[in-house]
Chain A
Amino acid sequence: MARLLLLLWSLGPMFWQLYSSLKPSEALSGVGAGGWTLENYRQLLQGDPPFLTYLINSVEVGASSTALTLALAVPCAYALSRLSRRQARALTSLVAAAAAFPAVLLFLALLELARDWHLANQLLALSLPYAGLCLPLVILLLQAAFADIPIVLEEAALIEGMDLWQRLRWILLPLMAPAMASSALLVFLFSWNEYPIALTWLSRTELLTLAPAMARIAGSSVYTIPYGAFAAATVLGSAPLILLMLLFQRQIISGLTQGAIKG
């Protein structure tokens, strides 16, 4: 019974959006009745630029942010997990402090950076602040995952004659796949949903990521609120995430609970 309620609570709104996206706008605002329609989707996909552009932009930014974050976090986390306990503790609290810092306070500074370094309207440049903001948390997650791997496995690999890169590539990272998957998803979700930086760094319409693009759709007309189009955008925008979750759900779940059992 509790599970059913939970499912209703989390899936209900999604179905409501799906339902709304398939109704004509008039029916949604209570004027006139309407049957089912794909008009909202057609309008989005044939818009200028087509909605697909925003999706692709978001996927690009998400993928590059994720790659950059992991590429930086893996060596950091490895080093932290191999330092002496005292050094590691000091550094870990620094990283934790960075993770806890309210990111809102950085927006103005980031904007300055974007101007000075000519990063505005460069889609992939968004990965820099995104990776920067996600890095502390991902380092902590991966550090716990490294610490969970018995050191003797790496020693065995060392005696087998593997160098550092080979040990990472063939022994450690495969064993951390769950933690890597859940960290990757975390970064991807963050950059997918991120609004203020994307809004301030990007102004050219064809470069927009999903969040600012949807804000534009919602505010495109002064007189009517395009409920139907907005609902359709929400559905299209969350579809890739649902797909990702379905693909990697096993890794993600075991990654999220991994640290929990062993403290």
Chain B
Amino acid sequence: MSVPVSAGDGFKGLELRQLSRRVGSHTLVDQLSLTVAPGEILALLGPSGCGKSSTLRLIAGLDPASSGEIQLGGRNITALPPAERQVAMVFQSYALFPHLSVERNLSLGMELRGMARGEIQRELDQVLALMQLEWLRQRKPAELSGGQRQRVALARALIRRPALFLLDEPMSNLDAQLRDNLRAELRTLLRSTGVPVVYVTHDQHEAMGLADQIAVLREGRLQQLGTAERLYRDPANRFVARFLGSPTINLIERGTTQLGLRPELLELTDAGSPVPQGWDALEGQLSHREWLGDRVISHVQCAEQGTLRVLSREAPTSAALQVRWRQADALRFDARSGERLPGSNTPHTD
């Protein structure tokens, strides 16, 4: 597992050291260690209940850590109350104050911190312009669309000039179209802050499209930390392999090992074709196809191996098919533990 920046004492980003949170007999976060450099976006990715939101709450100071340490900008913030951590958080529900206008939602914190009125006004104008919210200044949250609410929530976080940005599934309340459009915009915005960003999501596309590094969590434990490409091509275990990639990876049994086959690395030919040197093959029947426009997902029913998903440009012409792959392309996992076995493929770079 590679750590992107060497974490010395002068490290300016965010660093978690062996961070754990236990409630009763439950371990929500288990010995989590990772670093996020300034200007870097880290996605915490995993299914619901994997501990990603718990981790975010620990960093924000909303829940106390059971053990371990949180360092931000070279300072230990593990025991500090949220107000003193200089973090900003965007909540899944946005948590806008429903009784206050957009403007007051942004300015209330500054007012209560005793900032000068002129300065507040300047900051407000700047952030509202940046987020294109000027014309909504006087609206109440209930009078805004989902996308506008999200922008207000982001603006409220930005205006704090935080030392750390935390986002808890900020896109999950938006429709798919808007989410796709916003991803690039959000990435640019977050990177421009120049502070570490921790982004929680259960959506692999969001994590892959937004983050510099992805940390995959399962049951509170870090499974793998790396770039999207690294996680996709060189997963540490079956869980990571299955969690990333759409359609999901095909798994076929080979005794005590399991082969992981990415749908786009499979080829389809007519049944009975000769298998070339260094290739492996299964034969099966086409059960159905999903036409995606530029690609086709063919579901091929293979004896004793279930259905394989094959992603290809051309739709197969016959019903009896041979599915084949380069032996070097197959990922090998221990069938019981799911751990990646050595000697499988060398990571691609094409």
Contacts and interface: CB of A to CB of B under 8 A. Distances in A.
A143 to B, nearest CB: 20
B59 to A, nearest CB: 11
Contacts of A152: 91, 93, 95
A189 interface: no
Interface stretch (A33-41, A45-53, A104-112, A166-174): A166-174
B79 interface: no
Contacts of B93: 150, 152
Interface residues of B, number: 23
Contacts of A157: 97
Given A155-B95, A156-B89, A174-B99, A161 B109 contact: yes
Contacts of B99: 174-175
Interface string A213-236: 000000000000000000000000
B83 A153 contact: no
B91 A160 contact: no
Given A170-B108, A170-B112, A162 B97 contact: no
Given A153-B97, A159-B82, A166 B91 contact: no
Given A152-B93, A156-B95, A175-B98, A162 B109 contact: yes
Task: Decide if the interface of chain A is mainly helix, strand, loop or mixed.
Answer: helix
B266 interface: no
A159 B87 contact: yes
B62 A158 contact: yes
Given A155-B62, A155-B91, A156-B89, A161 B97 contact: no
A163 interface: yes
A236 to B, nearest CB: 37
Contact of B82 (A150, A158, A166, A174): A158
Interface in B89-125: 89, 91, 93, 95-99, 108-109, 112-113
Contacts of B95: 150, 152-153, 155-156
Nearest to A173: B99
B83 A163 contact: yes
A176 to B, nearest CB: 10
Nearest to B109: A160
Interface string B139-156: 000000000000000001
A155 B112 CA distance: 16
Interface of A: 150, 152-153, 155-163, 166, 170-171, 174-175
8 contacts: A153-B98, A155-B95, A159-B62, A159-B83, A160-B156, A161-B113, A170-B97, A170-B112
The 3 closest A-B pairs by CB, nearest first: A160-B109, A156-B95, A161-B83
